[in-house]
Amino acid sequence: MILRLTLKNLAAHKLRLGLTALAVVLGTAFVAGTLIFSGTTDKAFDELFAEGTQTVDVTVQGTRAFTGGTDDLAAKPVPASVLDQVRRVDGVAEARGQITGFAAIVGRDGKIVGGNGPPQMGIGWPSSLSDYTLVSGRGPAAPDEVALDSVTAQKTGYTTGDQVKAVAKGPAEPYEVVGVFKVGAKGQTGGVTYAAFEPSTAQRLLAEPGAFSGIVAKAADGVSPAELAGRVNAVVPAGFEAITAQQAADDAAGDVKELLGFLSTFLLTFGVISIFVGSFIIFNTFSMLVAQRTRDLALLRAVGASRRQVTLAVMGEALGVGLLGSIAGLLAGAGLAVGLRGLFSAVGADLPTTGLVIAPSTVVWTLTVGVAVTLVAAFFPARRAAKTPPVAALRDDVAPPVRSLRARAVAGGLLGAAGGALLATGLTGDGGDPLALVGAGALLVFLAVAMLSPLFARPVTRLLGAPLVRLFGTTARLGSGNAQRNPRRTSATAAALMIGMALIATVSVLAASMTASIDKSLDGSLGADFQVSAGGGFGPPGSFDPSVAADLAAVPGVKSATPMTYAQVRLGDQQVFAAVGDPAELAGPFGLEMESGTLAAGADEILVDAGTAAAGGWTTGSAVRAQYADGAFATIRIAGVYADNPMAGPYLLGEATHAAHYPDSRVSTVLVVKAPAADAAAVRRGLESSLAAYPNLTLQDRSDIKEQARASVGQLLTMITALLVLSIVIAILGIINTLALSVIERTREIGLLRAVGMGRRQLRRMIRYESVLISVFGALLGIAVGIGFGWAVQRALAGQGIDVLAVPAGRLGAYLAAAALVGVLAAVWPARRAARMDVLRAIATQ
């Protein structure tokens, strides 16, 4: 009987429950899409990197103490003599030197192909043991020849015989395209561009004459890769290691997966937010359905149905909504995963292709999350339905019992206090996982605000409605009264919008604070007039030959041109990035202010800022156990402590130490200071002329640097806001659902209003005013909570450079206006439906 009743109720309320299911679809689609995208890209990169293991078995490379970041630049070149040693190892069928490094092709527009997207790779053309296959022409054999990968050739339109320019660590040089090759069996590059040179040219451009980036070897029949790696390790010199090709592929794929894993977690967070917002809609919908069916439920009780059976009937409806919504969400998630891949392609990151991977765990998680959230949200309305007394079936004016708001006030206060404590603990980093603590704290705060909002829903909506009443008279007064009539319903409807708006406001406050802090930092700590840098895209930071600094220093009007780069070093048990350069020369461009010690950093010496010194308990002269990227351990001395400087960062490593442990001598930035009397525009023109041969380098003045920082923050804000708009869309569905159910609930009332003379247009306006008040109420709540969250996060990050609190009043005001528009749009369909009611039938409704 219960199953039959559940199915009939689902069929009887298809439209109302369909809108609720749509909220489930949108939330679970994000969860499913993220999981499908992650599984698909993981498989694609596994296949891409595994292709290299088909041609080689062992790779010899410089020993690496760290992974990722600038570690590739710190790896030792492998001398040609090691290749001879490897070839003599028993079990090696074939071995050759491998040369890789940065090299970019200059497009027909004068810009490097790929821009700041995936890495631009230069390689030495291999004669064997590679997964590169010529598709046209031949391999490069002369210093002025180059071969391109097929994807790059297709993008640029270059073919064999064309003249192109390529840039590595020096100025761009002309080459003739003599061949086009395919990477791997499928010809997929993952967005990476490849330029192949003949071996000696590749050594000059990418490594060192007479040295290789690595050595690859193929095992003889009967020798396993692991066994061969062990034999090779026994003969290679200290500072080098032999690993299996599979391990090298796993390491390379691991770096990519780590980046994509962060992206998946980032996207999954928005899926969880959407599900959370949708739970308020589900709760509200079932609460209203239970309220409207009080008499029906009482009849069930009167004819013998138990409380348990009534609860199961309502929960059965929730199960049906959750299950259908989750299945649809899974299908929509597959489309979202395809869309994400398209988005990557649009920004130049062409991910390797493979069929969509919908793992069983993805199906289970999607269905579990969707169904569980729906059942939990519907549980309390179901329990309320079960408490309907049978005698209520005999009454015409029956209404479900309403609890006092006092219990909500106490529970909401306790939740708010607990949420605030978790937020404070997470933001200050005093214990546990900060991200988990902040997330749990935010969840509790949102629940607390949702529970407490009925206490002030009536006075706030009355206050918001007062101007509308003065301007639009009776219809506005009726709309305002409807919003105030049931503060629980109003607050529950507004809660969904409140969450989305609170998160958007938090991000807006944080973005404005970051921008203001960056401006302050640049004004206070950047003494350079210009900066020259190379973009690194998604790979290691870009770098170029230090001779560029000498060329820039020779430009008329330039006082100094100071090169610098970055390197990884482990201090104690912490792996950190340190700026590298001559501290005495960087003092001016960085505006360094020494608090103690000296700017002269010798071998195994480092300078740190005051905040880092205090946190580590260090002073000038302190000794710290350190490890460099080449694996060497040393006791490093604190040569000096300087005032906190956002441009210099917390660590400054001297050139002598860097040269001893980091073979690559290239730099990533040159800071240029003009002479006091020099004309800035004339100096800039001179610098641009000097850099004309380096299309991979970017020249910026102070205003450009500020604008770039603002643009980066703005892009992040736009991306996060766009993702959070999904929660706003779900909130709009909630308002539409509530108004539609409210119209049904007030059918007789609407009929009476029409009977006494209210026109269709006036009725539509009344519902529109009610919708606008609910929307603005939710937006106000969200903005207030968001400002509080933004302030808390900014204070927690004050020690990391975000030390200026900025509240973007104009942007938040625009969001409030947008919320009013949301209310207008959400009321369109319910208002039209109400206006089309037959007056006589509406009056006769019980």
Structure-model confidence comparison of residues 233 and 416, the more confident one: 233
- Determine the pLDDT at residue 246: 83
Q: Is the pLDDT of residue 429 over 70?
A: no
- 440 Cβ contact partners less than 8 Å away, ≥ 6 residues apart: 419, 422, 426
Mean pLDDT of 161-168: 92
Q: What is the pLDDT of residue 395?
A: 54
Examine residue 440 and state whether it is found in any structural domain, yes or no: no
Check whether 102 has a pLDDT greater than 70: yes
Most confident of 537-546, 596-605, 729-738, 831-840: 596-605
Amino acid identity of residue 106, one-letter, is V
Q: Report yes or no on 549 lying in a domain.
A: yes
- pLDDT one-digit tens code per residue, 768-783: 998 999 999 999 999 9
Q: Do 726 and 658 fall within a single domain? A: no
Beta carbons of 454 and 483 less than 8 angstroms apart: no
Compute the 3-state secondary structure of the chain and give helix, strand, coil in percent, each to the nearest 5.
60, 15, 25
pLDDT of residue 521: 76
* pLDDT of residue 539 exceeding 50: no
pLDDT at 433 over 70: no
By the 8 A CB rule, do 120 and 156 touch? Answer: no
Among 246-250, 381-385, 505-509, name the most confident range: 505-509
User: Is residue 176 included in any domain, yes or no?
Assistant: yes
Shared domain check, 199 and 143: yes
- 466 contacts: CB under 8 Å, gap ≥ 6: 480
Query: Do 559 and 653 belong together in one domain?
Result: yes
Q: Which of 13-17, 318-322, 832-836 has the lowest mean pLDDT?
A: 13-17
Average pLDDT (575-601) is 88
Of 169, 190, 206, the last residue of a domain is: 206
Q: Which two tokens stand for residue 117?
A: 């997207």
Pairing of strands 669-674, 530-534: antiparallel
186 in the same domain as 141: yes
Structure tokens at 539: 């790979």
Identify whether residues 286 and 394 lie together within a single domain.
Answer: yes
Q: Do residue 712 and residue 656 come from a single domain?
A: no
Domain count, the chain: 4
- Residue 536's pLDDT band (boundaries 50, 70, 90)? very low
Contact 669, 531 (CB under 8 A): yes
Q: What are phi and psi of 607, to 5 degrees?
A: -105, 145
H or E element at residue 562: strand 558-571
**Cβ atoms within 10 Å, residue 474:** 12
Q: Hey, is 131 helix, strand or coil?
A: coil
Asked whether residue 394 carries a pLDDT value surpassing 70, the answer given is: no
What confidence tier does 660 reach under pLDDT thresholds 50, 70, 90?
Answer: confident
- Range 285-293 average pLDDT: 72
- Between CA 298 and CA 303, with CA 301 as vertex, the angle to 5 degrees is 110
Instruction: Read off the pLDDT band of 176 (50, 70, 90).
Output: very high
pLDDT of residue 739: 81
Q: How far apart are CA 834 and CA 760, in angstroms?
A: 8
User: Does 689 lie in the same domain as 705?
Assistant: no
HEC per residue, 345-372 = HHCCCCCCCCCCCCCHHHHHHHHHHHHH
pLDDT value at position 49? 67
Domain end call among 167, 183, 206: 206
Q: For residue range 75-90, list pLDDT tens digits in order.
A: 678 888 999 999 999 9
Joined together, the tokens standing for residue 566 give 């970055």
The pLDDT-based confidence of 492 (bands split at 50, 70, 90) is confident
**Beta carbons of 750 and 469 less than 8 angstroms apart:** no
610-659 pLDDT, tens digit per residue, is 989 998 899 999 999 998 887 788 999 999 999 888 788 899 998 888 88
Q: How confident is the model at residue 846, as a pLDDT?
A: 56
Token pair for 689: 């002329």
Two structure tokens written together for 650: 């917390």
**DSSP-derived secondary structure for 134-176:** EEEE----STTEEEEEHHHHHHH---TT-EEEEESSSS-EEEE
Question: Does the pLDDT at position 831 exceed 70?
Answer: yes
SS (H, E, C) 410-460: HHHHHHHHHHHHHHHHHHHCCCCCHHHHHHHHHHHHHHHHHHHHHHHHHHH
Looking at residue 809, its pLDDT comes to 92
The reported pLDDT for the residue numbered 352 is: 64
- Answer yes or no: are the C-beta atoms of 735 and 490 closer than 8 Å: no
- Interval 568-574 mean pLDDT: 87
Taking residue 307's Cβ as centre, other Cβ atoms within 10 Å add up to: 13
The pLDDT value recorded for residue 51 is 64
Tell me the percentage of the chain whose pLDDT exceeds 70: 86
Residue 421 pLDDT: 84
Question: What is the domain extent for residue 669?
Answer: 545-693
Whether pLDDT at 72 is above 60: no
With residue 613 as reference, give the H or E element that holds it.
helix 610-616
Answer for the pair 5, 220: CB distance below 8 angstroms, yes or no. no
- Are 742 and 841 in the same domain? yes
Would you list the DSSP string of 462-523?
Answer: HHHHHHHHHHHTHHHHHHHHHHHH-HHHHHHHHHHHHHHHHHHHHHHHHHHHHHHHHHHHHH
User: Residue 575 pairs with which residues in a beta bridge?
Assistant: 570
At CA 270, angle to CA 265 and CA 275, rounded to 5? 120
At 123-147, the pLDDT tens digits run 999 877 888 889 999 999 999 999 9
Q: How high is the pLDDT of residue 5?
A: 56
pLDDT in tens, 184-213: 767 677 678 899 999 999 988 888 888 888
The encoded tokens of residue 418 equal 């607990």
Say whether both 521 and 573 belong to one domain: no
How do residues 684-698 score in pLDDT, each as one tens digit?
999 999 999 899 898
The three-point CA angle 103-104-107 to 5° equals 160
415, part of any domain? no
Residue 751 and residue 809 in one domain: yes
Q: How confident is the model at residue 71 (pLDDT cuts 50, 70, 90)?
A: very low
H helices of 293-359, in order, are 294-302, 307-346
Nearest to 327 by CA among 357, 363, 358: 363
Task: State the average pLDDT for the chain.
Answer: 82
Average pLDDT (576-582) is 89
- Cβ pair 399, 291 in contact under 8 A: yes
Q: How confident is the model at residue 540 (pLDDT cuts 50, 70, 90)?
A: very low
- Tell whether 460 and 583 lie within a shared domain: no
User: Is 445 within the bounds of a domain?
Assistant: no
Q: Is residue 537 part of a domain?
A: no
Does residue 766 share a domain with residue 717? yes
Distance CA 365, CA 358 (A): 11
Separation CA 300–CA 163 (nearest Å): 85
Phi, psi torsion values for 131, nearest 5 degrees: -105, 25
Minimal CA–CA distance to 544: which of 98, 167, 208, 116? 167
Among 673, 693, 713, the domain boundary falls at: 693
690: burial class by Cβ within 10 Å (0-12, 13-18, 19+)? buried
Alpha carbon distance 666, 345 (integer Å):
31
> Which residue, 11, 506, 498, is CA-closest to 284?
498
pLDDT at 541 over 50: no
Domain membership of residue 584 (yes or no) is: yes
What pLDDT sits at residue 70? 43
Residue 75 lies in a domain: no
